[in-house]
Structure 1
Amino acid sequence: PPRDRLDLFLATANRIGAPVGNVEKDFWVCWTLNALYHERPAGEPRLLFKGGTSLSKGYDLIKRFSEDIDVTVFRDDLEEPASVEELEALSNKKRRAKLDAIRDACRAYITGPLNAFLAAQLTEVTKGAGRVEIDDADPDRQTLLLWYPEVEPRDGAYVRPAIRLESGAKSALDPHGPLTITPYVAEEAAGVDLAVPDVTTIEATRTFWDKVVIAHGLRRWYERRGELRQEGQRVSRHYYDLHCLMQSETGRAALANLDLGADCVRHARMFFDRPDYDLASAVPGTFAIEPATKMVDALARDYANTTAMIFGT
């Protein structure tokens, strides 16, 4: 019953020092992961869990509440295989066409079969109160919003009652392994197993280098354009994540693995490059990770907007 669920969410929020809306959303993040990894029909494309939510929920390396789920669809399963080596061998025109084909195949799966599957699952479990829609904010149309019914609606809350399922099929797939993801409320829900096992997740060392590449691109973009990418919104989290990773054994191990870093840069240059990222200079000695002085105020404002999402702040 909603009253019981609210009591559980409130007890968990009190224990971990987080807003109740975050606890409820975390429950639905885990529900969505369970649907993706254990409820889809056999023969569906494999998915790889990645990004900030994997760092917090999978590896407990950051104390940032992550409200989005970031997944990569295995290209081979979309019948659009493409390695960096294969793309490097193509002409610019053929490479662009191949990247467009990968995007289109991913979009077709996400907005078609996956959308229909998740909508049916959500409708059933919420008795029609939940819904799934394609996120118009994503120009590539590879993102879904899963709206869930709140046990206690909250006006004007920073956390909206929707899981943003971001996807694509261009990210690197290795190294990865299976992890168990558990919602915060599991401790209060004694006798109910809420853990989600066998979630195929990118290793955190790879995510570390991906964040380094993002930070480099943010700095170079600012130097060339005189403005922060994405108007400075939702970008400070990358610096927070890097800061946390640098305090960990995982971050130190990643930093020692320059071959993995070079592979991340090579992959980014092939699949995600923009001239203003200047990824040609993303090599040891010329990596530009630290924000320029004039970036700091805008990043601080963005970070202030997200402090509700960071435990202990």
Structure 2
Amino acid sequence: MNNWIQLSEKEKVELINRVSIATGLPNAAIEKDWWVTMSLRALFSCECANHIVFKGGTSLSKGWNLIERFSEDIDIAIDRAFFGFEGELKKKQINNLRRASCSYIKDKLKDELDYKLQETGIEDYSVFIKETQDTTKDPLIIEVLFNSIFTPGSYIREKVLIEIGTRSLIEPSETIQLRSILADNYPESAFADSYFDIPTVIPQRTFLEKAFLLHEEFQKPAENIRVNRMSRHLYDLEKLMDTDYAKDALNSPDLYDVIVNHRKMLTSMKEVDYSTHTPDKINFVPPASIIDIWEKDYETMKSNMIYGDSIPFDKLIERIRELNERFRNIKQ
């Protein structure tokens, strides 16, 4: 039984408000982090637990403590070998893989996740997948909707989105331990959840993938470039760029090439020219046409999601330009 759920709503509100003051995070973010943690714990106790890894921005903050940004959703990669697909895949095999993954997530994993959450005594939530006629949709998103004890805001949503894809790389990863922000602040309390192990993508890979993601995004026509919550990738890159993880990534040509080739073969987009991912051509600096709207997105994120120090947007762009030059200086 999860001891946190035994507390009264008044007790929960008081404790969360204290942690909010201590961390600088909104109270709704503290609450949602608990749901993110419980969802991760449940997911990594499912049948596929030995075949999935935690990745993306939330792994950087919650797993590696490298960024001071509340990351509210979960990115998961599931090993294609779990579905019997290994080695290089042709187009038809990739479609079959996507179909197998989509079917498994919709028909089995969603219900198993729900059962694992119920096992801990957690209530007042629902688990569902948005209806889609696409039987090869990958990644697929499981939504865990919960009833917040706070007045809902416009930015932090009352649901945990668990994006699960089978075309992502599984390695390189390492097993780390994590728990909720509440437990971090009240480790000796009866309601504190314990640490649990979770295989997590290494920061070097996430760093490179974020640079490639932006490079690909900025190849689109200006009107098709995404805006909402996208400035987080700039923030993450700037926070990582002076770490040993980033330095190691920029001195790992094999990892660089593996990621680019994987994106080209398994997650390619028709509007992207993958020959431009090379260090001498890569460009993840936002184009002038979207600078203003990305700045607005960044300011919104700063006020809602960043609980540590952050720099002005113009300084952020300067730093991203500097980082782009570091990529350009990679020896091939």
Residue 107 (structure 1) aligned to one of 102, 107, 127: 102
Work out the CA distance in 1 between the residues paired with 2:210 and 2:132: 22
Work out the CA distance in 2 between the residues paired with 1:161 and 1:71: 20
Work out the CA distance in 1 between the residues paired with 2:294 and 2:252: 29
Matches within 5 A, 1:93-242: 95-123=90-118, 125=120, 128-135=123-130, 140=137, 142-150=140-148, 152-186=149-183, 187-192=185-190, 193-221=192-220, 225-230=221-226, 232-242=227-237
**Aligned residue identity for 2:266:** F
Work out the CA distance in 2 between the residues paired with 1:137 and 1:277: 26
Aligned length, in residue pairs: 296
Work out the CA distance in 2 between the residues paired with 1:138 and 1:14: 45
Q: TM-score, normalized by length of structure 2?
A: 0.83
Cα distance 1:235–1:22, how it changes in 2: closer, same or farther (>3 A)? same
Residue 21 (structure 1) aligned to one of 23, 28, 44: 28
Shift of 1:197: 2.3
* Correspondence 1:40 to 2:83: no
Work out the CA distance in 2 between the residues paired with 1:246 and 1:265: 19
Q: TM-score, normalized by length of structure 1?
A: 0.88
Residue 7 (structure 1) aligned to one of 6, 14, 33: 14
Residue 302 (structure 1) aligned to one of 297, 310, 317: 297
Shift of 1:127: 6.0
Cα distance 1:195–1:252, how it changes in 2: closer, same or farther (>3 A)? farther
Cα distance 1:310–1:127, how it changes in 2: closer, same or farther (>3 A)? closer
Shift of 1:226: 2.9
Tell me the SS of whatever aligns to 2:105: helix
Cα distance 1:303–1:173, how it changes in 2: closer, same or farther (>3 A)? same
Work out the CA distance in 1 between the residues paired with 2:105 and 2:50: 10
Shift of 1:277: 2.0
* Correspondence 1:79 to 2:74: no
CA RMSD of aligned residues (A): 2.1
Contact 1:123 1:130 survives alignment (8 Å)? no
Q: Deviations over 1:182-227 (max 9, x none)?
A: 2111122523452432201111101111111111102222xxx232
Tell me the SS of whatever aligns to 1:220: coil
Cα distance 1:138–1:208, how it changes in 2: closer, same or farther (>3 A)? farther
Contact 1:80 1:105 survives alignment (8 Å)? no
**Aligned residue identity for 1:164:** L
Contact 1:52 1:241 survives alignment (8 Å)? yes
Cα distance 1:69–1:129, how it changes in 2: closer, same or farther (>3 A)? same
Tell me the SS of whatever aligns to 2:268: coil
- Which piece of structure 1 moves more, 160-169 or 250-259? 250-259
**Aligned residue identity for 1:216:** H
Tell me the SS of whatever aligns to 2:239: helix
Shift of 1:16: 0.1
Cα distance 1:44–1:184, how it changes in 2: closer, same or farther (>3 A)? closer
Shift of 1:80: 2.4
Cα distance 1:64–1:214, how it changes in 2: closer, same or farther (>3 A)? same
**Aligned residue identity for 1:260:** L
**Aligned residue identity for 2:13:** L
Contact 1:45 1:78 survives alignment (8 Å)? no
**Other-structure match for 1:57:** 62
Work out the CA distance in 2 between the residues paired with 1:135 and 1:190: 39
> Which stretches in structure 1 are left out of the alignment for 5+ residues?
88-94
Which runs of structure 1 show a deviation greater than 3 angstroms over 4 or more consecutive aligned residues?
A: 121-128, 135-139
Tell me the SS of whatever aligns to 1:213: helix
Contact 2:74 2:161 survives alignment (8 Å)? yes
